[in-house]
Amino acid sequence: MNSLISTFQYFLIITTELTVLFLGISTLVALILIYIPQEKLRLWLSRRGIWGNFLGAVVGSLTPFCACSTIPMTLGMLNAGAPFGPVMSFVIASPLLNPIIISMILALMGIKACLIYFGVTFVGSILFGVVLEKMGGARYVKRVRVKSSCCDTSQNSISIPIAFLGKLKLSFISAWNDFRGVLVYLLIGVAIGAGIYGYVPQDFVTKIAGPDNLFAIPIAALIGVPLYIRAETAIPIGLALLQKGMSIGAVIALIIGGAGMAIPEMAMLASIFRKRLVGAIVVVIWTTAVVGGFIFNTII
């Protein structure tokens, strides 16, 4: 009975926290993006050199795009002549530095974990964007037509109110629609996390994926990459595993692998990139997950 009560309490508390967090951060980001036209974002990505990769990672961290929006925007920028490296930094940063992921890690794991996560993934996005460009990845882009985004919320498709309250209302509506789209995944993640928190023995988790197991991090990253698990699902599960003794490095590796690349995202990337480039991006995500995991275990 105690396990059942603690499981139910965990479910209610985490669900409430994540709901408020998701709606608040999504509304704020949507409001900010109203004042930053997509043309300006594309202009930032047109810069060449390491500065362009830096701006590509910045744009990726500001834009909570789903894959069906990121892929057409990526191809559109490449067809418009944007440098390959900065666009790759954007592609890598967009899922890993999603504002929702950052805010969830901040709320559930603390400021130190949030700053380290942001630093690892941001630097990784810049570095690997440079590496992919130097390796000649641009020649593996397919010649295909840009399709409109399934979740286009640009100024061209929506009438933007003049008054601030109107903009705020529009931003909340956008956030609410996004929340409805991820609610099932969030509830599944919290429910699994609550079950782990209430019923899985701590000794079992510590033995399998504790700090003393050096293979826990690469295996967690390997599981996360092909696993169809959204960050809204992975983070509540990871938090419960962390509280049960799983090393924070393995938890972060699972989150980076799951958030950065899943089978549906691979399929969409394969529609615009050739297999070698898709494979290189998967290796980049896995490497970022492993390196980030070991950094977390060392610092925290």
pLDDT tens by residue, 39-87: 676 677 677 778 888 988 888 887 655 555 667 677 777 777 778 888 8
CA distance 190 to 103: 16
CA distance 94 to 113: 19
Whether the CB-CB separation of 248 and 292 falls below 8 Å is answered with no
Tell me how far CA of residue 290 lies from CA of 134, 248, 276, in angstroms.
23, 12, 21
Calculate mean pLDDT across residues 159-170.
80
CA distance 248 to 69: 31
Phi and psi (nearest 5°) for 141? -85, 130
Both tokens of 189, joined, read 């993640």
pLDDT at 179 over 60: yes
Phi and psi (nearest 5°) for 18? -70, -35
Q: Which amino acid appears at position 46 of this protein? A: S
Task: Give me the percent of the chain exceeding a pLDDT of 70.
Answer: 82
CA distance 188 to 14: 12
pLDDT at 5 over 70: yes
Whether the CB-CB separation of 242 and 202 falls below 8 Å is answered with no
CA distance 113 to 297: 11
Calculate mean pLDDT across residues 227-237.
67
pLDDT at 151 over 70: no
Secondary structure of residue 141 in the 3-state scheme: strand
Task: Give me the percent of the chain exceeding a pLDDT of 90.
Answer: 9
Calculate mean pLDDT across residues 134-145.
80
What are the residues whose beta carbons fall under 8 Å from the beta carbon of 10, sequence distance 6 or more? 193, 194, 197, 198, 240
pLDDT at 105: 84
Calculate mean pLDDT across residues 83-112.
85
Burial 2-30 (b: 16+ CB within 10 A, else e): eeeeebeebbeebbeebeebbeebbbbbb
Report the chain's mean pLDDT, rounded to a whole number.
79
Count how many residues are written for the chain.
300
Q: Provide the pLDDT confidence category of residue 156 given band limits of 50, 70 and 90.
A: very low
Secondary structure of residue 234 in the 3-state scheme: helix
pLDDT at 294: 92
Q: Provide the pLDDT confidence category of residue 229 given band limits of 50, 70 and 90.
A: low
Q: Count of alpha carbons within 13 Å of 261, Cβ hemisphere only?
A: 25
Residue with tokens 């919320």: 153
pLDDT at 213 over 60: yes
What are the residues whose beta carbons fall under 8 Å from the beta carbon of 233, sequence distance 6 or more? 185, 186, 188, 189, 192, 258
Cα 253-202-16 angle, rounded to 5 deg: 70
Write the DSSP symbol of residue 284. Answer: H
User: Which range is most confident: 124-128, 201-205, 215-219?
Assistant: 124-128
pLDDT at 271 over 60: yes
pTM of the predicted model as reported, rounded to 2 decimal places: 0.75
